[in-house]
Amino acid sequence: MAPKVNIIIYSLYHHIYTLAKSVEEGLKEAGVDAKILQVAETLPEEVVKAKMHAPDRPDVPIATIADLEEADGVIFGLPTRFGQLPSQFKAFLDSTGGLWAKGALAGKFAGVFFSTGSQHGGQETTAMTTVTYFAHHGMIYVPLGFANPHLFDNSEVIGGSAWGAGTVAGGDGSRQVSDKEKEIGKTQGTNFGNVVKTYVAGKSA
């Protein structure tokens, strides 16, 4: 059976969702079984629609903690909130105490990708502050490094860093995920998939 990697996202304006599809493409290219899920919304519907002008939610299932437990690796897609992960994600991760108590996620792989409104809005702090969750669960964080040459390109705005793929949505969300950012996302998926695949094959050898 192919190793399993779940991509768990929150995406109000679909930038993270778009990037998730590139990460998924890379994972599948590496030969792992991958799917996209999203954490539950915690804001009232009228706030999300009337005040935040969000489109319909991505058409993917709601993640449960079973989706963490069943996977060999999990990649989290995070739109920045004040330089950190959104509260919807915190609510999801804060519901994993039972898994922590039995060490259910220890030894599984974890990665992150992210989105900010501005170039300097906290891409790296968003990734960095997520690593405490991985440490407490005993998960193995897999950074992207500078695995894709676009990460050296300073000729245009390109999200992402050694921590993972990223996109810059613009203050009003009008900037779309660029082709280069999608390619970085795909590289992250492929590299992460290869790490998970190698580990799972070694364990069952």
Ligand X SMILES: Cc1cc2nc3c(=O)[nH]c(=O)nc-3n(C[C@H](O)[C@H](O)[C@H](O)COP(=O)(O)O)c2cc1C
| Residues engaged in binding ligand X (CB under 6 A) | 11-16, 79-83, 115-118, 121-122, 169, 173
Find, among 89, 80, 39, the residue nearest to 170 by Cα. 80
Instruction: Tell me if 80 sits within 8 A of 122, measured CB to CB.
Output: yes
26 vs 121, beta carbon nearer ligand X:
121
We find the least distance from the C-beta atom of residue 21 to ligand X, in angstroms, to be 12
Alpha-carbon separation of residue 123 from 4, 33, 41, 205 (angstroms): 27, 27, 22, 38
118 vs 198, beta carbon nearer ligand X:
118
Residue of this chain nearest to ligand X (CB atom) = 121
We find the least distance from the C-beta atom of residue 157 to ligand X, in angstroms, to be 12
Length of the chain: 205
54 vs 195, beta carbon nearer ligand X:
54
123 vs 148, beta carbon nearer ligand X:
123
84 vs 194, beta carbon nearer ligand X:
84
We find the least distance from the C-beta atom of residue 49 to ligand X, in angstroms, to be 14
16: Cβ–Cβ under 8 A, 6 or more apart, which residues? 9, 10, 77, 78, 79, 113, 114, 115, 167
CA quadruple 160, 94, 24, 192: dihedral positive or negative? positive
We find the least distance from the C-beta atom of residue 65 to ligand X, in angstroms, to be 22
Per-residue tokens: 154? 């300073």
We find the least distance from the C-beta atom of residue 105 to ligand X, in angstroms, to be 24
Can you tell me whether residue 96 is helix, strand or coil? Answer: coil
